[in-house]
Homo-oligomer: A and B are copies of this chain.
């Protein structure tokens, strides 16, 4: 089943969270209730960064949200408003290509607008 190269209109959003509990609580709303993304993967990470000129080394959780390009702005806003951090990391990566079956799954598991 050769995968036709469809014009991808999927998008990935990266954000880090202080703990698993707040991450899961927000993700359940975004995936199941608001249907702003079809899937979230997350994993524990270590982070090094400066905060008020002091080097910090902390455990965080990296969340990888997958959605359609149409919904990315609404997803960004919803995460920003409900995120536990004052200045959350919210980075969007574009999908250069995506298999057509998976893209269809993304579309079918998110709201239309």
A interface residue numbers (CB < 8 A to B): 1-3, 5, 8, 10-12, 16, 24, 27-28, 31-32, 35, 38-50, 55, 57, 60, 62, 64, 66, 72-73, 76-77, 80-81, 87-99, 101-102, 105, 109
Contacts and interface: CB of A to CB of B under 8 A. Distances in A.
Nearest to A2: B77
Contacts of A50: 31-32, 35, 38, 109
A80 B105 CA distance: 15
Contacts of A91: 10, 12, 66, 95, 97-98, 102
Q: How many copies altogether?
A: 3
Contacts of A96: 11, 92-94
Contact of A31 (B55, B64, B76): B55
Nearest to A47: B41
